Structure 1
């Protein structure tokens, strides 16, 4: 989508993305090697009663869904960051994740007219409609017109 296609209140949906145990283990082993992400037997005895995905992997899945559904072919080039990120419920092997992204604001920069600034909330749900990720991101777009 092009920056001009985004508007406040707009909702973009994507998914599902089904996350398997092998993918959870591979990501966690490489990037977040905590026992509740990498050891199914130990995780079964832990607070969550089983293996859970890293929150950072959950963010990466949301990014993939957003990239495919909204940013492919756009003028997006960077992000200065997130207002917040929350993981209210764990992601488990076999979960089917779907994204709901809502545009909060879309505006041109006051100082750089060729810069579009998009603020949007991404919420990722599992197959039971439980929220597993909630964040607000800012995305920057390079605009050629004025």
Structure 2
């Protein structure tokens, strides 16, 4: 069933599944987008304050985004207006399993574009020990079933 702006409720929470991150993809992402030693090289990472190889925070955010998209395909999202309060709480390491949960925390009509409504979603990613790894508030837009006039 396709879900529009009118169909989501504040407080609705979605379990967006989990994903196990590998050393190879951490290094591959870092080589392309965030080539810092603690993302690229296990030996160099051991000497960092992180004590070992870790995923880029940007990679962690991308993994959360993928989980959100995969588990909310029934919702008619029309894009995003930005992200607030992005926090990298603890590192994501090779072999960690990232579990993602997203809650609709606010919604309001969009006065400029009557065909959409604004939604605020709070996402938290946790590792396999249920420790928070990342959190952020996404400012999204959803299609309306019937535009306001």
Q: How far apart are the structure 1 equivalents of 2:13 and 2:145?
A: 25
Say which SS state the counterpart of residue 35 (structure 2) adopts. Answer: coil
Which residue does the alignment assign to 2:58? 56
Alpha-carbon offset, residue 115 of structure 1:
1.1
Out of 4, 16, 19, the position equivalent to 2:18 is: 16
Contact 1:76–1:142 (CA under 8 A) maintained in structure 2: yes
Q: How far apart are the structure 2 equivalents of 1:56 and 1:88?
A: 13
Q: How far apart are the structure 2 equivalents of 1:22 and 1:75?
A: 34
Q: How far apart are the structure 1 equivalents of 2:84 and 2:22?
A: 29
Which residue does the alignment assign to 2:76? 75
Is 2:106 the partner of 1:105? Answer: yes
TM-score calculated relative to the size of structure 2:
0.91
Which residue does the alignment assign to 2:137? 136
Q: How far apart are the structure 2 equivalents of 1:44 and 1:74?
A: 43
Contact 2:27–2:40 (CA under 8 A) maintained in structure 1: yes
Alpha-carbon offset, residue 76 of structure 1:
1.2
Which residue does the alignment assign to 1:115? 116
TM-score calculated relative to the size of structure 1:
0.93
Q: How far apart are the structure 2 equivalents of 1:67 and 1:28?
A: 23
Which residue does the alignment assign to 1:125? 126
**Which runs of structure 1 show a deviation greater than 3 angstroms over 4 or more consecutive aligned residues?**
none
Alpha-carbon offset, residue 144 of structure 1:
4.7
Q: Number of residue pairs matched?
A: 145
Contact 1:24–1:54 (CA under 8 A) maintained in structure 2: yes
Contact 1:40–1:50 (CA under 8 A) maintained in structure 2: yes
Contact 2:13–2:102 (CA under 8 A) maintained in structure 1: yes
Cα RMSD between the aligned structures? Answer: 1.4
Q: How far apart are the structure 1 equivalents of 2:103 and 2:113?
A: 25
Alpha-carbon offset, residue 52 of structure 1:
0.4
